Every structure is written in structure tokens, then in C-alpha cells.
Structure 1
Amino acid sequence: MTSSRAGALGRRSASWAAVAVLGAATALVGASPAMAAPADITEGSLNWGFKASFRTYVSSGNGNPPIAASDGASINADGTFAFPSTGGSYDAETGETNATYGGTVVFSYPAHMFTITLANPTVAVSGGAAVLKADVELESTAFPPVDVTQATIADLTTASGNPVAGADGITGTGLAATLTAEGAAAFAGFYGAGETLDPLTFDAATSGGGEPGAPAVTVTPSTGVDPDGATIAVIGSGFDPEANNAAGIYVSFGPKVDEHWTNASVLQVTKWVSSTNEPTDARDTMNADGSFSTTLPISARYTDRNGNAVDCTVTQCYVITFAARGSADRSQDTFTPITFAAAAGGGSASQQIAATVLPGGPLTLSVAGSSVTLPAVANGAVTSGALNAATVADLRGSNAGWSLVGQSGDFVAAGDAVIAANNLGWVPSASVVDDPLVGAAGTVTPGAVADPGAGLGTARALCTSAAGASAGTFTCGAQLNLGVPASATPGDYTATLTLTLS
């Protein structure tokens, strides 16, 4: 078959945020019998949510909608995304996989100046290493564009039995994911390389050759299990009921140990599942198609048959399947991790908090009033008053420095009477506004005194803040001193004093 891809993405711009897709490196286990050549993938799906905290952050924004799926992709009930198979190839002999999936997911946050598009993920497995690639575009009004096609942008952490390679396909369940250096670069460093992402589950199946499918297990519940005890449901498929002379499999719960198939004494509970069994408390039946359904009573803490205490809230424990009667056949092995809820009345939890500090914030000026009336004064005397306070806020985040200067025009009265602007002087003052947030405080310096007669007819600094310490909020003021010449014509004079921030 010819693999298809979702339509090419339009060219977009941006250099900010973070979406990632994943990959990993560890040997695949449980490989099925060899096949002569790669086979076409005919069905499958990929489920992944990128990063739950990022979805929450974007969902709080003003996108319309904040998160959208299209071109075959859909949003699952838990907020993660499902991508349908569009083809690819799988080699059962080597495990080499190139599984392509279609669909587009768009994260939109106009108020924070970005749109991120993720499309067409591909799972590639070769030489025991697994990666997931995708097309990623970022659009922003603040930064240069980023546009990558099928970039390898994250790593998968695989474990024994996960992914599982079979005769007819490959399945990976809950594979842990971390952002790669290439992924971090693709998303302009919103998250750094090594950042933990959401786990990924994928499957890819071929038309097959009549061999049993790859063993797979679903456990309900597998997370948040009551540590004091619970009965979990275990559903299996793809097992071989005729393997090892129809001996069947063991379905167990406990930690993973070396040679687990001969070291069952560390396990808490085990059921024997085979095609010849009738259901009992210790046994269950495997169907002719290799499927089964059973239950296991488990708890987080127990004493194993060696007399050792096991705590599954400290040591990772699994629902484990393996060939019965100590068989060396590892093709029936699966490991499904089980996690327990925190004990009531105690415990601890951690959350990673992500925040975006937007670049290019404002440098602003505000003034407490628009006019000042000085007291009446006689010729040859000086009258004084307070300049309306000016507030400077430097929120640029660059600590680039700034200055606030003032200059006055001439004082003019009726009949074209004039008092020269230089007769207005000032005594500047400046202070830092207290900021309750933790951080390095900025500094501000008042301008030099300008005496009447050599005053504000030219631009003079009211206050300044030097580069490296200019961030924050500051108040600048001055005592105004107007000297009235002996020759001034009596009358009501006005002038305009202009403050300029740069």
C-alpha cells in the first residue's frame, strides 16, 4: 500500500512555545517469528497529549478554540489526542517500524502571541531505538517563524516487554516521553531538553500471516489503586493458547525481578490461565483466540514467600504475564505498571509549575494631575509649588535604562506679556515604589537642581535610572520655583511644562 499523510501545513511563523513528540531507545522484547520482508501497516492508532500542564495553560487562554483537532485527529475524554493510522511498514523479523499517523492539533493563545500546530506524527523503530516524529509549526507576532517537518523531537523510555513486537504488528503502552534537544530547539526553548512529557500509547498492525497477534494486557484500574486492597480486572489478548504444549500463562502481581519466570516467590498473587482450565480462585480460562479475562486481589504492601516486606508505593510493581511452568519462552511476557493512591492522612505530592514571561513589556509614564497653580507673587520675588508626581513603570524586563526630562515654554499673559521659560526652576526628587514581589530592586536618581534664571527653558532631567537597574516602578517629583523679573507686567500667566520619557 502507499502510505498517506495529512495535508501539508501552511507556512506559519513563531519562535516560542513547546509541543513535542516522542521517541526512545531500548531493545524491543517478545519479537515474533521472522517474516521475509516488511509488511504494510493497515490499521492502528496513536494516543498522546503532549503535556498535561501545557494543555491546562493553553485552555485558560483566549483561543477560539484554545485547542482544536482536525484532519482525522480527535480529542479524547481525558484531553489527550487520538491520531489514526495512515500506513507505513513493519518488519516482524527485525522489529523495524515506520508507522505513520494522520491528523492536526492546534494550540492557540492570541493574548500570548502564539499558535502551535502539531501534525502527522510518525513512530519509527530501528535497531532497538524508537522515536516519534512530527510536523511542527509555530506562529507568533513577536518572534521569527519555526517550521519543521518530521523532526525527531522527543525520546521514549521503553522497558522489557514494552513495546511488544509480534507477527502482525507492534504495540507500545504508556511509554514515558522526554523532550529531545531537537524538540527543544523546534519550540524555541519553552521547555528544555529532558523535560518530561505525557506518556504515549501506539499500535500498528499489518494484514498478518495468520500468526497470533502480539500479547497485550489492559488493567482496570491501573492507577490510583487503593493501597489497602483492591480487586483489579485484567483483560488479555494476542496470547498463544497452544504454546508450550498448551501450558498457558501465569498472571501475577509484584515487582519485576531477574528471571521472574523462576522466581515467583516474590509475587503477591498469581493465577494460572490456560485453555484447559475451569475458572476457580486460582485459575482462569484462555479462549481459543488467545484472549482471557480474570481478576487479581492486590494491595500495596505485603510479605512475600521469602519473608521479605514488599512496598509497591516505593518499589514499582506490575501485573506480569509469562509462560507457565518455568518455560524459557519469553514471547508471552508483558509488564503493566500499577500505581497506588496516596494513603489517607499523609503523603506528599509535587507539581511542576510552568509560566511564560512575555518579552517586550511596556515602559510607561503617568502623571497625578494636569495643572499646577503657584501662589501669587510680587515683582522681583520667587513663588514655589509642587509638580504633580510622575510615575514611571519599566516592565520591559531588559533593564535597559531610561530618563525622564522636562522642558517649559514661556509664561504668557494677556496683552502678550511674557516671562521667559528659564525663570522656572526646580528641585527634583525621586523614589522607588515598594514592590512586594521578590526580585532585584531598581534604582532611580533625581535630576540636578535648576535655579530660576537658568531653569527649564532647555530640557533638564527630572529623574533617571541607569541600565542594569531600571526595572520596577518609580515616583519622580519636584519643587517648582518661578522667579518673577522686576520688569514683568502684572497679570495671570500660564506656561506648558512637558515631561518626556525615553
Structure 2
Amino acid sequence: MTSVMIPQRRYRWRSWTAAVLAAAVGTVALTGVASAGTAQARPASAAAAESAVTVNSGTLEWGVRASIRNYLENFEHTAGWVEARDGATYDPGDPAIVFSDANGWVDTEQQSAELSFAGEVQMFGFGEDWLWFEDVRVTVDGGDAEIIADVIQSYNVKERRDDVTLATFELPDGAVGVEDGTLEIAAGEGLFTETVWNEHLPKLGGAATYGPPNDFTDPFSVTAELEGSTPGPGPEPTEPEPTEPEPTGPVPTVPAPDPDEAPYGTSRGTPLAGTDSYIAVTPGYALDPDGTTRVTVEGFNFNPGPAVEPGTGSGGIYVGLGQAADPDTENWRRSKGGVTGPGADLDYASPRFVAHQNSADGDVADAMMDADGYWKFELDVPGSTLESFFGGSAIDCLESRCGVYSFGAHGVVNADNEAATFLHFPGDGTEDGWPPRENENPDAPPTSEPDPLPADSQLTDANRGGLTEVSRSGRALTVGVGQEHAQQWVGATLHPDPAFISWYRVSGNGNITVTLPSGIAEGEHRLSVVDRDSELLGWLPFSYAVDQKPPPTGPPGENPGGVDKNPHGSSTGENPQSGARLTVEPAYELEDEGQKVTLTGEGYPTSNGGSNFGGAYIMFGWIDPELGGSWGPSGDGVGGHGYVYIEGEENQSMVSYPGNTTVPGFPTMDEDGDWEAEFTIASSRFTAFGQDVDCYTMQCGVITIGAHGQANAGVEVFTPVYFDADGSSIDPDARPVAGGQGGDGPGLGTDGLAPAAGAPAGLSAATGLVDGSDPAAARLVALIGLLIAAAGSLGLASLWATRPVPRS
């Protein structure tokens, strides 16, 4: 494709604190409003002047704030909704709430008004009323306007508060006008008052989520009839002019769209650095910039999550239309520190949810991955202008290229599943690089088995080809076909007694991952691969065993395969600044998979900056010793760059600060910062963030960092553990190597706090912890996150319901 220079956005937004707030619910819109957003005094006029006119009917249109409505209505995990009644009307997706039965007065000479409206509105999510109000009034005094209401209940105030000023507005000159007996008042975006953003609406980590500069509201408009106004006299009646009868010929038809202008072709992305996944959009070229184009979005070679029983999986990805600040780089990727929101590395419209294979959340997802990481759904592209999910300014796809982007859902950073594919509109400056229309359906997947299937007799040394076995995990066999076949469809057949398995699209790095049949027998097999024309590309032999585990890669004799282990001992890590200590027991000769350990924390900080929101995440992985004590998020560390941990909600847990309620059922620190928990270490070897980690040679351990995207240096602790008997197999210079299906290359690293060898903890397992082995608990951790948390490892910036309020 021809390289085309496209104008780029010139602003960047990299404040980690702002990122968390921005991603949480719909976020900092850079509107240029300088007001602090505090409540203004109610207009002074208490009665109508002589020049005032009575208003006896009419409506107010005001949606409070579009991003709040969008969030509560469109994401299942919020269990949210917006409802209007008793004189107010609203349906999900409407641009505003309509309040009826206007009453009051207006004075156009003084540019003032006092109006009241019928209607009640309830905005609900996470088991809480975010804002529930009635008896709405609009007051205007010169260039200032206010919307006032009686608040029945809100997120933080559970008692009625009357006469609350919800929002203030600055009006242009002449905003209050009357024409032909009809009053019209129109205002631009307003500001929540301090009372609303500080006392009523949700807060994140003690900070006002909707405080300045994120305190903007929707605009409002009033249309009303004035008392005594009647339509003016109409024109004098006239005799109708004689007319010729209408022709009775055929009804004209709408001309068919010009085939040379209709959307066409498939825009297929290229796997990003360290990944195999990519997205294809059909049609992807000549999309209608002024209307809606229905497209099919497909994902290939995504990491589908663990192979689990149907209905027990968790997690997934978000897929959305969006625009990167630097579309020709990978700076937008969360695994590379990318931030989302208006003016940030990536801004996007409302995303779709694609669940991992066999997910329990499949019924609320737009699609579910299969075992090969394939998924598909249809999407309406509304034109070249997109409304940002975060509110604020719109996204202009003619100003800079837009595309379809994917990233880990529920705040989980998952480099494997980050992908991007450009969309192409007439006028976006990329037309010179578009493919010719005659190739609009290239490389469609075959619809039938190869004919004929390769015979066993064809699998000779001469026909071996260049196939290689890249990796094997259970029934997932990754085969190297060759980069010369990238993006092509190939068919895999199992031998002996040829049995066709499926067609696979070769990834950008030349690999396919074949899911072997569930009834495959143990023993020696062969796999052949053909192209779409049934021509044999090659074959390879492989052996299969049930529950096959890779042999240890540590020094010979340290952990001979199949030898029973005797987990024992304990290990303690300490934060030298805060004194927080974490003891793990057992800590030596751990099992290679599913090792349960008891964690004992002592002296952890019990708050973060005075707020008890959150706590500490618990993970297992490796930290880079080259960064000393700055390995964590409070220093130089980012997940995958400084510390590498086993990804997936089921492999992580959390301990709360005293009084935090975001994760009910998980352990909580006492007032001294002490706590106990059980934790499951999934494996002695893993691949994450595109890096292979072998805990026989690399120093792995249990990691704690600040939860919910809130960095807290005091809770950053690393405690080493060992899979051999005495730790002698560890190479202090060993580092992760690029490999697997990951995202980034070797990280910048971070390091550990000096571990102190400790006596056995002598403490029992924690009570009440639902650990990472429980899929339901893992989903709980994921679903409480505000979906689009953009910063911090795991990034679960959460609001959670602790006081259920019945929907009325």
C-alpha cells in the first residue's frame, strides 16, 4: 500500500492520574471551559416583572450527561439503566430526556425566566442510584441559567435533598427569544455544581470523578407556548386552481448505488509486534462518510484464554471504532503504556465485548472466541464522525485515520490481544493506496474440505516441506507453515487414516494453531497441511499424550520430570521504605502447576493518600533486578516492562484496605495492615507480554502492587519462591526471552526488594477469600472494574454496590 502523509493530532495526554479518571466513566473532555464548576447563586428575581409573560405549556430537553447514560445503558457489568417517568420521557439511546408541562414566566426584555417542568429521572448502576431527581426547574437571569431539582437519592447521599442546583450554564446574548408566541431558550454545555460533583456523584479513590475539568454536562433547550398566544389569522381562502390529473405511469424507483462508489473489499490488519492476532473488516474501503455502513468484523489468532468447561471461562477483549493519536505507531497499546481518552493515545466510540472461549459471560457478549482465537460480529459504522465513548469532542476520521482497535477487557492488560485495522473513507487521504475493486473479495475462506485429502502414502521425506512444530499445549498444536503463506488459508489433516480437521488462516509470523480432535489417541501421529487448492505444502510427525507437560528446563537433576515433590519452608520479602512484609509458605520445591500457598502480610499501608479506596493486587511472576526498588508502578515499572506476571483474572487476587468495599468476599487488612490469604500459583513456566518466563532459572515470586490502578509504593513487595529444593537452580542474571504469543519484547525491568529469609509464618489460611482458582470470583474481580480503566497494572478502577436500592 502506498504510504500517504496524513495530518496528525498534535496533542498528547500522558498523566497517569488523569488517565485513571478519564477512563473511569467518561472522562476529561478538553472543552476549554475555565470555570471551576462551583454552584452559582440562584437568580435574584423572585417574581415576574410587568414585562413578563406567563408560560402555560412546553418542554425541556436535557440529558444530564451523555457519557453517564451511555455507560449505564450499554455495559452489562454495571447492571445499569436510565428511566424517566411521571411527565418525563426517555428511551435508551435518545439524545436527551424530555420534561413536559412547562409552567412559569419569561421576560425577554430582561432576558430572565423561571420555569418548572413535570417528570422524574432515575439513573442507576452498580446497585446504586447515581442521580434520582424530580421537580425540575430552569431559572434564567441575563447571561446565566441554572437547572434545579429535588434530589430523591444519589450515589453518595441516601436522603432527599430539595432545591439542589444540578448545573449552571452561560448563555449567549439574546438566548431567551420569542417568535410567533413560542419561547425558545438554547444553551450549550453546562457545568455540574460543586454540590453535585463533590457530594452526590461517584468518586474514584477519593477524587471527584466529575469534578473540574471533567464537570461538563449536556446542553439544554426549552420550547414553550406563551399564555394568550394564538396563531395569527391565516390567508384569505381562495378557490382551488384546476389541476391536471397526475400521470399514472410506473412509480419511479430509487437508483441503485454506483458500484464504483459503494463500499468494498476487506481491510486486513497486520499482527503487531510480538503478536499473532489481527482483525479484518469487510467492507473496509470507500465507507460512506455521511451515512451508515454495515461491516463484518473478524478476529484471527487471538489468545482465547484457558481451555475450560463451557460456561466457566472469564475475561475477553473490547473491540471498538477509534482513532490513535499516532496511527502509524504502536504507542496506543496499553501494554506499551498507552492511555485512552480524548486527546490521549487512543480515543474510541462505544466498544463491543468479545468473550474468551467457553466464557460464563457469553450471553452478554457480542461474540465469543473459539479455541483458535477466531471471533466475528457485525457493526454499523455511522460515518466518518464518531462520538467518543468518553464524551467531549467528536472523532473526525477524515482528519486522521480511524480503525477498529482491540485490547484486554475489564482493565486487564493483555498484549496478545491488542490489534488494529484501519477503515478507509473517501476524502481521508488514503485513496491512492486502496486495492482495485475487482479484488473486493480476496482470500475468502474455503467452504468445503480439500478434495482429495492427502493420502498416508503421500507423506514421504520428499514431501516433508518446511513445516515445523512451534509449540504444543494439550490439544493445541502450533505449526510453522512459513511466512510466505501469511494471510492465506490452509487445511490441516490428521494421519494415519486421514481425517480433516479445519481450515486455518496463516498468521503474520507464518504459524497456525491447530486444535487436535478431542478423541485423539495417545501415541505417534502426523499432520499434513494443504493450500486452498488442495496442494500438499508439507507434513510433520508429532507425539500426543494426555495431560502432557513440558520437561523441566532447569539444570539436570534439579527437578527430574515425574519426581514427587515435597513443598516446604517459607520465604519473606520486605519493602524497605514502608516496612511491609509478605511471607509465603510453602516456598521451596513447589509443584509445577496449581501450587496453593499461604500468604501472610504484615505492616502494609492501610490507605493511599488518605483514601481507603482499593488495596493491593496479588500476582505471581518475575521482577527485573536491574531497577532496584523502583520496579513497581510507583517507580519505573509497567506490567511487562519491569515486572512480568501470569495474566488473566483467574491468576490474580486482591487484599483490601480497611473499609474498602469494592471486592466483597476477599481478604481485608486489619488496622495494623496485617492480613492472611490463600493464593494459587498457576505454573512454574508461563508466557506473558510476549516473554517466556522459566521459574527454575529465573527468580520468580509473589508480587503485591497497588490495586485499581492506584500506585502505592508502600504495598509494592516481592517475595521469592522456588521450584527446586534449595533455590540452587536460579541464575541471578536470567531474564525473560521473547517468545510465545506475547505482545512486547523483553521489558525494561524492575526489581525486587531484598527478601529476608524468614521463619515459618505459623499462620493458617485466610478465611473468607475466594481465590483465583474460582472462576466466579475471578469474574467478580473483573466485572467490578470500570471497563475502560486505562492506567496501572490491571487497571480495575472500580465502583461497587454495597447498598442495593430496589428499582421503582
- TM-score class, shorter: 0.3 to 0.5
Larger radius of gyration: 1
| Higher share in strand | 1
The TM-score normalised by the length of structure 2 is: 0.27
The TM-score normalised by the length of structure 1 is: 0.40
